[in-house]
Structure 1
Amino acid sequence: MRKRFICILLMLLIFSQSVFASELSAENCIKVAVIDTGISTRAIDAEHIAEGYNYISDNNDTEDKIGHGTAIAGIIAGSSYAVLSEMVNDVKLVPLVIQTTDESGKVQIGDTEMIAHAIRDAIDIYGCRVINLSIGTTKESKLLREAVEYAEEKNAVIISSVGNKNVKNPDSLYYPAAYPTVIGVGSVNKNGRVSSFSQRNKSLMLVAPGERIWTVSKSGKALLTSGTSFAAAFVSAAAAALIHTCPELTAAEVRSILCESATDILEPGYDMGSGWGILNLEACLNRE
């Protein structure tokens, strides 16, 4: 199992040098919305960042003041300091800021209405086919549910982390991961075992590397981190790769391919510990 998992991880790590190696024109590039804390241009090359929006400040300032969004971006699109490096011009990250700090350093977090608004804008204004939401709320919301349904209608794939509270709150469901058309992602360690912190419930669809993951900080330095947030970023990158190779895929087809090609690790088929299994980029891209 460990050797197989390492092979899968290596495929993920060379993702940026293989799948995204070709040059695409601006109108054909895959846009990935990162609904998070923004993206630092000190860490991620500006040429890989498209125009986005700051919903907290109500302006176009999407520089990351916290670091979480930059770490997610470092996994999806790479940087010179991240493990996934040398991503080129066929993916553009769209930073949509729903969490930041004010001038005093106090954290400001958007509500579910703001997240729902960002999802719709990611599709209608920014043309994103993939939406990464490494965030979650335990409160179900009509507006959020309708935004997720709208994304499905428009063939935009939403990937969201399932949460890191399994030890203390194992029954907690986090939205939007818990919605059936969202790919809820949990974490596994380097040995392919489900991380102790990763939620195990019906919100889970896939697991991906989420422990001791190298990415990049907002200052542009190497960052070692853990969490289902970062596992979700790997799946967002894989979803972008699938759409890159086959743009006519529907959101439902992308989900199906990712799940059917996953490496099963616990009970045969689906289980609430590991979903359909570990993300397997090689298998999903080489499907017949």
Structure 2
Amino acid sequence: MVARANFTTSRNNEDNYGHGTHVAGIVAATDSNGMGVGGVCPGCTILAGKILSDTGMRSSSGLANGINWAVQNGAQVINMSLIVGASITLETAVNNAWNAGVVLVAAAGNGNSTTMMYPGAYPNVIAVGATDNNDKKASFSTYGTWVDVAAPGVSVYSTFPNHRFVLAREYNRSQGYDIGSGTSMSSPIVAAVAALAWSANPGASNWTVREKVEASTNPIEGVGTFWTHGRVNADLAVHW
């Protein structure tokens, strides 16, 4: 983790909720150390922008500020494992990030409906639905042709804070490592696949990386109805 910033009303940028640590571990937890879990892109570095407060509250303005901060600090891929209200400020931040050459990825939501959720529904964001361990749509996953790709999102094992946090109390999660479910877990898998693909082809543009991530998916059940493309495949995304 190379930088942290707090875009909430919480008094510091520590993760006292637990969600951000779980998401970050899915992306970049260290592998080959005999501890816990390895992330999808363990060589990636993390810019940790705190958008969820200590109680899980969030805002579109806070997310917009986080996007702007990430771009200013050199982010190449921005993962957004949250849902907020649509706003002109947020859409402008998304579009500015895309125009600056960034790939943006977001959770589609956990409402088991076709309702478009933001920021995932913005055209310049890869919206991600969730699959289960049978490669089927997760029961909770928001879906529809506005959702771009799918990735595993049920009982995903990853990092949690090594101190007391809200999700431990609300969902009986353990400190250190435990499972989590949601499109919030699917989104960082896709973001990490984009990072892997870009690392393998450093001269590529964000448009090309997005195209390759989407074109290299596996055609699982639901293509064309639950999501436009299929379930992401890191190996195929890298070898292009």
**TM norm. shorter chain > 0.5:** yes
* C-alpha RMSD over aligned residues: 2.0
Q: For residue 7 of structure 2, what is the aligned residue in structure 1?
A: 55
Q: For residue 92 of structure 1, what is the aligned residue in structure 2?
A: 45
State the shift of 1:215 in Å: 0.7
State the shift of 1:274 in Å: 3.2
State the shift of 1:85 in Å: 5.5
2:63 to 93, 97, 115: 115
Q: Quickly say closer, same or farther: Cα 1:108–1:236, change in 2 above 3 A.
A: closer
Report the Cα distance in structure 2 between the residues aligned to 1:272 and 1:52, rounded to whole angstroms. 38
Q: Quickly say closer, same or farther: Cα 1:157–1:93, change in 2 above 3 A.
A: same
Matching of residue 227 in structure 1 with residue 175 in structure 2: no
Deviation string for 1:175-209 (max 9, x for gaps)?
A: 01001110101111111111111111233111011
TM-score (norm 1): 0.73
Aligned residues: 225
Report the Cα distance in structure 1 between the residues aligned to 2:56 and 2:141, rounded to whole angstroms. 25
Q: For residue 17 of structure 2, what is the aligned residue in structure 1?
A: 66
Aligned pairs for 1:268-279 (under 5 A) are 270-279=223-232
Report the Cα distance in structure 2 between the residues aligned to 1:86 and 1:186, rounded to whole angstroms. 17
2:107 to 157, 161, 166: 161
Matching of residue 192 in structure 1 with residue 135 in structure 2: yes
CA contact (8 A) 2:40 2:193 kept: no
Report the Cα distance in structure 2 between the residues aligned to 1:86 and 1:274, rounded to whole angstroms. 22
Report the Cα distance in structure 2 between the residues aligned to 1:111 and 1:100, rounded to whole angstroms. 10
Helix, strand or coil at the partner of 1:92? coil
Report the Cα distance in structure 1 between the residues aligned to 2:181 and 2:189, rounded to whole angstroms. 13
Deviation string for 1:108-143 (max 9, x for gaps)?
A: 63421121111011001x110010100012x32111
Q: Quickly say closer, same or farther: Cα 1:155–1:272, change in 2 above 3 A.
A: farther
Deviates more, 1:75-84 or 1:205-214: 75-84
Q: For residue 133 of structure 1, what is the aligned residue in structure 2?
A: 80
Q: For residue 32 of structure 1, what is the aligned residue in structure 2?
A: none
TM-score (norm 2): 0.87
Deviates more, 1:254-263 or 1:211-220: 211-220
Helix, strand or coil at the partner of 2:3? coil
Q: For residue 168 of structure 2, what is the aligned residue in structure 1?
A: none
Unaligned runs of 5+ in 2: 163-174
CA contact (8 A) 1:185 1:228 kept: yes
Deviation string for 1:50-69 (max 9, x for gaps)?
A: 1221122488x432101000
Report the Cα distance in structure 2 between the residues aligned to 1:82 and 1:235, rounded to whole angstroms. 21
Q: Quickly say closer, same or farther: Cα 1:111–1:85, change in 2 above 3 A.
A: closer
Matching of residue 284 in structure 1 with residue 237 in structure 2: yes
CA contact (8 A) 1:265 1:278 kept: yes
Deviation string for 1:16-43 (max 9, x for gaps)?
A: xxxxxxxxxxxxxxxxxxxxxxxxxxxx
Which residue identity lines up with residue 235 of structure 1 in the other structure? V
Q: Quickly say closer, same or farther: Cα 1:283–1:69, change in 2 above 3 A.
A: same
Unaligned runs of 5+ in 1: 1-48, 102-106
Q: Quickly say closer, same or farther: Cα 1:85–1:110, change in 2 above 3 A.
A: closer
Identity %: 27
